[in-house]
Amino acid sequence: MNESANSVSVAGRLSRLELSHRIYGESFYTFFLECGRLSDKSDILPVTVSERLLTKHPLCEGGEICVKGQLRSYNKLVDGRVRLYLTVFARDIEDNGHAQNEITLTGYVCKSPVYRVTPFGREITDMLIAVNRAYNKSDYIPCIVWGRNARYASSFEVGDKITVTGRVQSREYEKVQDDGGKTQRTAYEVSVSRLQKEQ
What residue segments make up the domains of the chain, in order of their start? 5-98, 105-197
> Is residue 198 within 8 Å of residue 163, measured between CB atoms?
yes
Burial (CB count within 10 angstroms: exposed 0-12, middle 13-18, buried 19+), residue 63 = middle
The pTM of this model reads 0.90
Q: Which DSSP string do the residues of 117-138 spell out, in sequence order?
A: E-TT--EEEEEEEEEEETTTEE
> Quick check: 6 and 71 in contact, CB under 8 A?
yes
Q: Which amino acid is at 50?
A: S
The amino acid present at 177, given as its one-letter code, is Q
Strands (E), the chain: 5-23, 26-36, 42-50, 64-78, 81-95, 101-109, 114-117, 123-133, 137-146, 161-176, 182-197
Q: 41 or 7: which carries more pLDDT confidence?
A: 7
| Domain 105-197 CATH superfamily | Nucleic acid-binding proteins (2.40.50.140)
Q: Among the residues of the chain, which ranges form H helices? A: 51-56, 147-153
pLDDT digits (tens, 9 = 90+) for 132-146: 998 889 999 999 999
Segment 10-48, tens digit of pLDDT: 999 999 999 999 999 999 999 999 998 878 889 999 999
Asked if the domains 5-98 and 105-197 are classified in one and the same CATH topology, the answer is yes
Comparing C-alpha atoms, which of 162, 163, 148, 156 is closest to residue 117? Answer: 148
**Assigned CATH for 5-98:** 2.40.50.140
- 3-state secondary structure at position 53: helix
> Is the pLDDT confidence value at 3 over 60?
no
Which pLDDT tens digit goes with each residue over 48-58?
Answer: 999 999 999 88
Say if residues 139 and 70 touch (Cβ distance below 8 Å): yes
pLDDT bin (cut points 50, 70, 90) of residue 199 is confident
The reported pLDDT for the residue numbered 83 is 86
Check pLDDT > 50 for residue 1.
no
